[in-house]
Structure 1
Amino acid sequence: MKIILLGYMASGKSTIGKLLAKKMNLDFIDLDEYIENKEQLKVSEIFNTKGEIYFRKQEHLHLKELLDLEGSFVLSLGGGTPCYAGNMDIINAEENVNSFYINVSIGTITNRLTNENETRPLVANISKDDLVEFVAKHLFERSFFYNQSKFVVKSDDKEPIEIVDEIYSLLA
């Protein structure tokens, strides 16, 4: 079984994914890190030097590559992955995949991004004042894709381990 975590940036996918993988004794893969290793560049460098279209093509190819692997693992997607190149259709067509949308409120996301914006290419140049509007608009546009996941887990006001336990119980 492959477990895929998706949601907006700063929703906690990587944190939850690592904890879930440990609980289930599975490998954890972060798609952005996987791409960085393949490209030998940080995601922000790929965006800056090769552009978002190039990145999205690589993201699509590497997602398909990972889904074709044998075995079980937990995979954390980038925030935009489900929204491009028919990626959600590919994920949903896989029989041995359980996808989870980590649903986080706009307020929680903007609070987290305020502290991390330098490492996030899409928000690196957005002022704190404009961040709420940006996230709200982006989340509205992306929610169509996120809500196509098999499960939706609301995560506001929950500790990461509580979310892991909830996901684990949904898999049982």
Structure 2
Amino acid sequence: MRVYLIGFMGSGKSHWGRLLSERMNFPFYDLDDVIVQKSGRTITEIFESLGEEQFRILEKELLEKLTDEHPDLVLSCGGGTPCFFGNIDYMKEHGKVIWLNTSLDTLVARLVKEKSHRPLIRDIPDAELKSVITKKLHDRKLYYEQAHLSLPEESLSLEQIQAAILHD
């Protein structure tokens, strides 16, 4: 079984993905980490030198490569992964897609601390961060809502996630 974790940046995908992969005894991959490893550049460097479109093309290629190579895996996807090139449909066809539906206030609290590592929000003043996240989350929600399951990240336990995946 392939499990794709989606959600906005800062929603907890990598955290829960690692725990879930251990619980299910599946390999874990963070798609952003795989992109960095394969390209030899940070996400920020890719955005700055190649632009977002080239990043999204690389993201799609590696999403499909990991899927082809692993019948069982837990994959933490980037926040924008489901929103480009039909990736949400691809993931739904090849596994179970779980949206970690994290509240806006939790996202803002986490992301204000991580801005320097996030190319899409790095240069946004803290005072404007909540409105920018609100807009981007609104734009992406159309894709996130297509997941097989939507789970509220703030109240999750590992047991709840696994049970939801196995019983849906």
TM-score, length basis structure 1? 0.93
Q: C-alpha separation between the residues in 2 aligned to 1:120 and 1:171?
A: 29
1:171 alignment partner AA: I
Q: C-alpha separation between the residues in 2 aligned to 1:92 and 1:28?
A: 18
Q: Is 1:155 matched up with 2:149?
A: no
State the shift of 1:82 in Å. Answer: 0.3
Once the two structures are superposed, the pairs formed by residues 43-62 of structure 1 within 5 Å of their partners are 43-62=43-62
Runs of 4+ in 1 over 3 A off after TM superposition: none
Q: Is 1:71 matched up with 2:71?
A: yes
Partner of residue 39, structure 1: 39
Once the two structures are superposed, the pairs formed by residues 19-168 of structure 1 within 5 Å of their partners are 19-94=19-94, 97-156=95-154, 158=155, 162=157, 164-168=158-162
Helix, strand or coil at the partner of 2:55? helix
State the shift of 1:51 in Å. Answer: 0.8
Deviations 1:113-153 (A, max 9, x none): 01000000000000111000000000000000001110000
Partner of residue 165, structure 2: 171
Q: C-alpha separation between the residues in 2 aligned to 1:37 and 1:49?
A: 16
Q: Do the aligned partners of residues 92 and 71 (structure 1) sit closer, same or farther apart at CA in structure 2, a change above 3 Å counting?
A: closer
Q: C-alpha separation between the residues in 2 aligned to 1:117 and 1:88?
A: 26
State the shift of 1:104 in Å. Answer: 0.5
Q: C-alpha separation between the residues in 1 aligned to 2:159 and 2:121?
A: 31
Aligned identity (percent) is 36
Segments of structure 2 that go 5 or more residues without pairing to the other structure are none
Deviations 1:96-125 (A, max 9, x none): x11100001111100000100000000000
Q: What is the number of equivalent residue pairs in this alignment?
A: 166
1:38 alignment partner AA: K
Q: C-alpha separation between the residues in 1 aligned to 2:70 and 2:10?
A: 29
